[in-house]
Amino acid sequence: MDQKRQIDWEKLGFDYIKTDFRFISVWKNGSWDAGKLVEDNTLTISEGSTALHYGQQCFEGLKAYSTKNGDIQLFRPDENAKRMQKSCDRLMMPRVPEELFILACKQVVRANRAFVPPYGTGATLYLRPFVIGIGDNLGVKPAPAYIFCVFCSPVGPYFKGGMKPVEFCVSDYDRAAPNGTGNAKVGGNYSASLLPHNEAVQRGFADCIYLDPATHTKIEEVGAANFFGITESNCFVTPKSNSILGSITKYSLMHVAREYLQMKIEEREIPIDQLDEFVEAGACGTAAVITPIRSIEHNGKSYVFCKENDPGPVTKKLYQTLTGIQFGDVEAPEGWIVRV
Ligand code: PLP
Ligand code: COI
C-alpha cells in the first residue's frame, strides 16, 4: 500500500492542492518534445505570450479513481484527448497527439500516487491538461511556441454537498456566441461566465443556466457542466446545440441510461418554457459528476424537480451506475477504463 498524504479526503472541495509532479512538453519548430515530469509548479513565459493577451489556450478535465482493490484508473481519457485536439484546431494551436496526452496523464498520476484519494472516500484525483501559446509576439496571430502541461489535484465535489440538490437561475448573459467557441474548452468561455456566476450566487443560487445565444429560448448548459432532464415517461433528455461543450459525462450517461437502465434517450432542443415536462433534472460533468437540480428560476417562475435533500430515483440510479463504473464496481463498456 502506498503511503498516502495526510489529507482529510472526505472534506475535500474543488480547490487547488499543490502535488509533487506535473508533466510538461514544449512545441517548437513543428513538433512536441518528449516531455518530462517536473517539480516546479510555476511557468516562466514571455510577456508577449498569446495565451496572456488573446486567450490562445485550452484545457481539459478528467479524473483518476481508486478502486476497491487498490488499482488506479482513468475514465475515457481518449475522449478528453480528442476533445482537446478539437479545441486546439479551433484556436489554431498544434494538436497534442492522443498517445502523448494519455502518457502524460498516466505519468502524472503515478508520480503523485500519494495524492490519489483512497477508495470509499468519494474523492478523486482531478487532472488538468492544458495547452498555452507562448513566446515573444505582439500581433493577433498564432504563437511561435506552445506548452502542453498536465497537473493534478485531489478533489471532492464541485458543487457543495455533492448529491445535494442545488438551485439554479437562468442567466440573461451568454457564455458563448452561436458560431463561437462554446463547443471548445477554451478559457474565454469561463472568464465570460465569472460575472453571471457571481451574480447568480449573490442572488442565492448555486450557479446559473445559459440559454441559446441566438434566441434566448432554449436551455444550453451550466457554466461548468451540461444539463439533462428526465421525463415522466423515463426518457433522458439533454440539449443539442452548437454552442455547448460536448460533455463526456453526458454522452456516457446517455449510454448508461439506454444500455444499463433501459431508458429512452433524446438529444434535442429544450425550450425553457417547457421545463414542466421534466420530473427530475441534473447538471453533469467531470467536476460536477451528477449534481441534482432542485429548481430552476426563470422570469419569476420556479420549476421544481425534487425535494430539498432528496434527489429523484432516476438521478440516483444514474449516479450510482456512472460512479460504479468509474470506481470499478460496475462493469464498464469496452474501452472506457484505462488502468494507470
Ligand atoms: N460544459 C462545460 C462548460 C464544462 O466546463 C464541462 C466540464 O468539463 C462540461 C460541460 C462537462 O464536460 P465533461 O463531462 O466532459 O467533463
Ligand atoms: C470539468 O468538469 O472538468 C471542468 O472543466 C469544469 C470546471 C472545473 C471548469
We report the CATH number of the domain holding residue 176 as 3.20.10.10
Q: Do 114 and 138 share a domain, yes or no?
A: yes
- Whole-number Å distance, alpha carbon 3 to ligand 1 midpoint, is 32
pLDDT in tens, the chain (340 residues): 458 889 999 999 999 999 999 999 999 999 999 999 999 999 999 999 999 999 999 999 999 999 999 999 999 999 999 999 999 999 999 999 999 999 999 999 999 999 999 999 999 999 999 999 999 999 999 999 999 999 999 999 888 777 899 999 999 999 999 999 999 999 999 999 999 999 999 999 999 999 999 999 999 999 899 999 999 999 999 999 999 999 999 999 999 999 999 999 999 999 999 999 999 999 999 999 999 999 999 999 999 999 788 999 999 999 999 999 999 999 999 999 999 9
Same domain? 140 vs 221: no
Please tell me the distance from the alpha carbon of residue 241 to that of residue 212, in angstroms, as a whole number. 8
Residue 138 Cα to ligand 2 middle (Å)? 30
CATH number of the domain bearing residue 53 = 3.30.470.10
The residue among 131, 155, 179 that closes a domain is 155
Number of domains in the chain: 2
Exposure class string for 197-235: b at 16+ Cβ within 10 A, else e: beebeeeebbbbbbbbbeeeebbbbbbbbbbbbbbeeeb
**Could you tell me the residue range of the domain that residue 100 belongs to?**
9-155
Answer whether 132's CB lies under 8 Å from 89's CB.
no
Rounded to two decimals, the pTM is 0.96
Enter the C-alpha cell of residue 160: 457543495
User: Which residue ranges have their beta carbon within 6 Å of ligand 1?
Assistant: 61, 221, 224-226, 245, 247-250, 285-286
Nearest CA-CA partner of 264 in 240, 233, 241, 292:
233
State the distance from the centre of ligand 1 to the C-alpha of 136, rounded, in angstroms: 32
In a domain, 331, yes or no: no
Has residue 160 been placed in a domain?
no
Do 150 and 171 belong to one domain?
no
Is the domain of 227 the same as that of 264? Answer: yes
Gap between the Cα atoms of 103 and 83, Å rounded: 16
